[in-house]
């Protein structure tokens, strides 16, 4: 094991795994408790449009995805206030539209799109310093947001109608959180890819939820079980020489199944 | 008697379809108003318009508590209909009651020792101290309703709005709750939405009938005939004398 740490890329992957667990553990708890998994799936896939536009314009595709993802997320949040379209139909529309935009822009970009598969399936071993800085910065921001506004986030998530009667800035809090959701998704695409990032946002929470139904504990347990999953998945992918993103997701679901089994045996 | 709130010729609804029309009444300090009417008649919409949660098509709701509507809202308590909640949401009883003290000046949610103590007191009043760290999802319907009542009254509001507080509550707690409300009415106005008139008729002081058109009656005397005209579900289970006086006919349509 010690020779592994001599490799710069391995240290970076470890840092990436830890940051992924922190960002997804915290924001995923918000997503799961508010039952926004489908919205998050929509943002995830729609952000592929941003990746395509990023390729076309010759800028960092992650940046393209971040801008596109945030706009789509705010759009979904805004439209859910009005009843013009069914919200789930709207999400499905944006979900596919984003993918379509991505495919078109990648097609019309001259030459071969390098690392395209990285965005679909993730590649934590080739994570760049920029990716790490973004993910590290987002970890810090997420921790700060949850520490500073814990009680407000909790009450707005639980009952926004009541929060409004207390004159709380419900729209402001929800907008801040949906931007956090979008950035968390986009920056974690590097880790496990568009196809599988939803697992990082929901499986650690499902594990945590087996042992607690306290919001604060759920935040902490989700980060911890996320870390256990990403780190052991990373190790397994290294030793077995199989793709890291898929192994991390597989490990997380395996951990959930074992936790569920233990829970049902011990009661 | 100090006027707290005035509803002036309010019409409101959804998708340009009016649900309530021409609501005209006011709420004063000692009021205990029952809002009655059939399902879908607009009771909850009327309540939401009063709370500022739903914008009326026309007319206005005027608050006399404070000049600024935002600070006025800090002086109201609200118990919404229970079926709007996600019962699996991971939140403790204590946190739910304390959220009744939330204010935009305290976005960080730092509550003083005095505030926390007050939350404990309200929990004790409702007999919920034992369950304060329990998650909401683990409670029975009646226990949940106690918690929401606690959240509504923890801020010592000037007006307390309750939307069907009798739902999911056993009869024993229901009458206990109405006795509690009667006590609270000594220092706050109460506006109560209910379809179960039998239970509330001996507590309320005045009635608002809502079935699209809104009528205010400055007394709590109701009759079967009157109810029939409104198509209200009648479940009058009364103890002692059944009130039989017919109110004057509505002059407007």
CB contact A222 to B (< 8 Å): no
Total of domains in chain A: 1
CATH number at residue A220: 1.10.3470.10
* Whole-number pLDDT of residue A236: 96
Which three-class secondary structure state does DSSP give residue B74? coil
User: So what's the pLDDT on residue B169?
Assistant: 78
pLDDT reported for residue B88: 82
In a domain, A48, yes or no: yes
Q: Is residue A266 part of a domain?
A: no
pLDDT tens column, B18-46: 888 888 899 998 899 999 888 888 898 99
Per-residue pLDDT band for A3 (boundaries 50, 70, 90) equals low
Q: Which residue among B15, B73, B137 sits closest to A166, beta carbon to beta carbon? A: B73
User: Given CB atoms, is A2 within the 8 Å cutoff of chain B?
Assistant: no
Which residue in B50, B84, B99 has the most chain A C-beta atoms within 10 A of its own C-beta, making it the best mutation to test that interface?
B99
- What value does the mean pLDDT take over residues A44-50? 96
Residues spanned by the domain of A176: 2-261
Cα B169 from Cα B173, distance rounded (Å): 6
Work out the average pLDDT over B171-196: 87
- pLDDT over 70 (residue B243): no
- Whether residue B109 and residue A165 make contact (CB cut-off 8 A), yes or no, is no
How does residue A82 score in pLDDT terms, banded at 50, 70 and 90? low
Q: Percentage of chain B with pLDDT > 90?
A: 35
Question: Is the residue at A196 inside a domain?
Answer: yes
The pLDDT value recorded for residue A138 is 98
B100 reaches A (C-beta below 8 A): yes
CB proximity list for B237: less than 8 A, separation 6 or greater: B198, B199
**H runs (alpha helix) in B90-241:** 93-98, 113-125, 141-153, 171-184, 197-200, 224-230
Interface check for A166 against chain B (CB to CB < 8 A): the answer is yes
Please judge whether B137 and A165 are an interchain contact, meaning their C-beta atoms are less than 8 angstroms apart: no
Residue A87 in domain: yes
A218 touches chain B (CB under 8 A): yes
What is the spatial distance between Cα A69 and Cα A62, in angstroms, rounded to a whole number?
10
In sequence order, what are the beta bridge partners of B209?
B36, B215
Question: What mean pLDDT comes out for the span A151-160?
Answer: 94
Domains of chain B: 1-75+158-253 (3.40.50.300), 90-156 (no CATH)
Residue of A163, A167, A213 lying closest to B135 (CB–CB): A213
Provide, as residue numbers in chain A, all residues whose Cβ is less than 8 Å from the Cβ of B91: 154, 158, 215
- Give the one of B52, B85, B102 whose C-beta lies nearest to A168's C-beta: B102
Q: Work out the number of other CB atoms within 10 angstroms of the CB of residue A78.
A: 13
Q: Does A154 contact chain B (CB < 8 Å)?
A: yes
On chain B, the residues whose CB falls within 8 A of the CB of A218 are 90
Cβ–Cβ gap B137/A212 under 8 Å = no
pLDDT digits over B115-154, tens only?
A: 999 999 999 998 899 999 999 988 888 888 889 999 999 9
**B80 — phi, psi (to 5°)?**
-75, 170
Share of chain A above pLDDT 90, in %: 78
- What mean pLDDT comes out for the span A133-157? 97
- Residue A267 placed within a domain: no
B137 and chain A in contact, CB less than 8 A:
yes
Chain A (105-124) residues lying within 8 Å, Cβ to Cβ, of chain B: none
| pLDDT for position B68 | 67
Q: What would the mean pLDDT of B216-230 be, rounded to a whole number? A: 61
- Measured from the Cβ of residue B154, the count of other Cβ atoms closer than 10 Å reads 22
Q: Which helix (H) or strand (E) holds B165?
A: none
pLDDT of residue B202: 80
Task: Please report the pLDDT score of residue B62 as a whole number.
Answer: 87
- pLDDT one-digit tens code per residue, B42-67: 898 999 899 888 889 999 888 887 76
Band (B165; pLDDT cuts 50, 70, 90) = confident
Please check whether residue A33 lies inside any domain of the structure. yes
Averaged pLDDT, A161-188: 95
Nearest Cβ partner for A35 among B86, B96, B135: B86
Asked if A221 and A23 touch (Cβ cutoff 8 Å), the reply is no
Instruction: Compare CB distances from A167 to B15, B70, B95 and report the shortest one's residue.
Output: B70
Confidence label for B234 from pLDDT (cuts 50, 70 and 90): very low
- Residue window 27-56, chain A: list those with CB within 8 Å of chain B: 33, 35
Question: B231 or B172: whose pLDDT is higher?
Answer: B172
What pLDDT score does A116 carry? 85
Arithmetic mean of pLDDT, A230-244:
94
Of A154, A163, A164, the CB nearest to B95: A154
Phi and psi based region of residue B168 (left: phi greater than 0; alpha: psi -120 to 50; beta: remaining)? left
- Residues of chain A contacting residue B73, judged by C-beta atoms under 8 Å apart: 165-167
Q: Is residue A30 part of a domain?
A: yes
What is the average pLDDT across A245-265?
Answer: 95
**Model-level pTM?**
0.87
| Residue range A111-137, pLDDT digits in tens | 877 778 889 998 898 899 999 999 999
- Does A188 reside within a domain? yes
């Amino acid at each position: 094991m010690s020779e592994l740490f001599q490799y710069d890329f391995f240290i970076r992957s470890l840092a990436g795994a830890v940051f992924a667990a922190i960002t997804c553990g915290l924001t995923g708890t918000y997503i799961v408790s508010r039952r926004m998994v489908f919205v998050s799936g929509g943002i995830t896939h729609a952000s592929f449009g941003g990746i395509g536009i990023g390729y076309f314009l010759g800028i960092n595709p992650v940046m393209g995805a971040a801008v596109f993802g945030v706009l789509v997320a705010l759009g979904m949040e805004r439209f859910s206030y009005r009843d013009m379209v069914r919200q789930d139909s709207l999400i499905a529309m944006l979900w596919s539209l984003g993918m379509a935009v991505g495919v078109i822009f990648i097609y019309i970009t001259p030459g071969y799109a390098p690392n395209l598969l990285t965005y679909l399936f993730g590649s934590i071993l080739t994570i760049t310093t920029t990716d790490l800085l973004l993910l590290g910065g987002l970890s810090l921001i997420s921790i700060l947001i949850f520490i500073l506004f814990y009680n407000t986030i909790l009450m707005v998530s639980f009952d926004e109608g009541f929060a409004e009667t207390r004159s709380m800035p419900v729209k402001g809090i929800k907008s801040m959180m949906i931007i956090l959701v979008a950035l968390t998704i986009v920056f974690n695409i590097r880790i496990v890819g568009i196809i599988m990032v939803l697992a990082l946002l929901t499986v650690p929470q499902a594990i945590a939820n087996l042992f607690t139904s306290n919001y604060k504990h759920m935040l902490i347990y989700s980060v911890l079980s996320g870390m256990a999953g990403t780190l052991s998945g990373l190790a397994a992918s290294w030793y077995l020489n199989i793709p890291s993103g898929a192994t991390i997701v597989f490990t997380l679901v395996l951990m959930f199944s074992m936790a569920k089994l233990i829970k049902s045996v011990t009661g | 008697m100090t006027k707290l709130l005035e509803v002036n010729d309010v019409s409101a609804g959804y998708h340009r379809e009016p649900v309530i029309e021409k609501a005209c009444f006011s709420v004063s300090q000692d009021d205990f108003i029952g809002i009655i009417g059939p399902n879908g008649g607009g009771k909850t919409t009327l309540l939401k318009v009063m709370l500022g949660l739903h914008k009326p098509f026309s007319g206005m709701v005027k608050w006399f508590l404070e000049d600024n509507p935002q600070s006025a809202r800090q002086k109201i308590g609200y118990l919404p209909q229970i079926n709007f909640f996600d019962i699996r949401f991971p939140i403790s009883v204590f946190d739910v009651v304390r959220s009744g003290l939330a204010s935009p000046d305290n976005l960080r949610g730092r509550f003083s020792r005095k505030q926390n103590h007050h939350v404990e007191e309200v929990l004790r009043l409702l007999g919920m101290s034992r369950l304060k760290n329990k998650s909401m999802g683990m409670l029975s319907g009646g226990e949940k309703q106690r918690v929401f009542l606690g959240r509504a009254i923890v801020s010592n509001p000037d007006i307390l709005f309750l939307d069907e507080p009798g739902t999911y509550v056993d009869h024993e707690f229901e009458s206990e709750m109405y006795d509690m409300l009667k006590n609270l009415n000594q220092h706050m106005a109460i506006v109560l939405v209910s379809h179960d008139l039998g239970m509330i008729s001996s507590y309320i002081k005045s009635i608002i009938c809502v079935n699209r058109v809104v009528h205010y009656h400055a007394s709590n005397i109701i009759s079967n005939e009157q109810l029939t005209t409104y198509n209200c579900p009648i479940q009058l289970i009364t103890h002692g004398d059944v009130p039989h006086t017919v109110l004057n006919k509505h002059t407007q349509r």
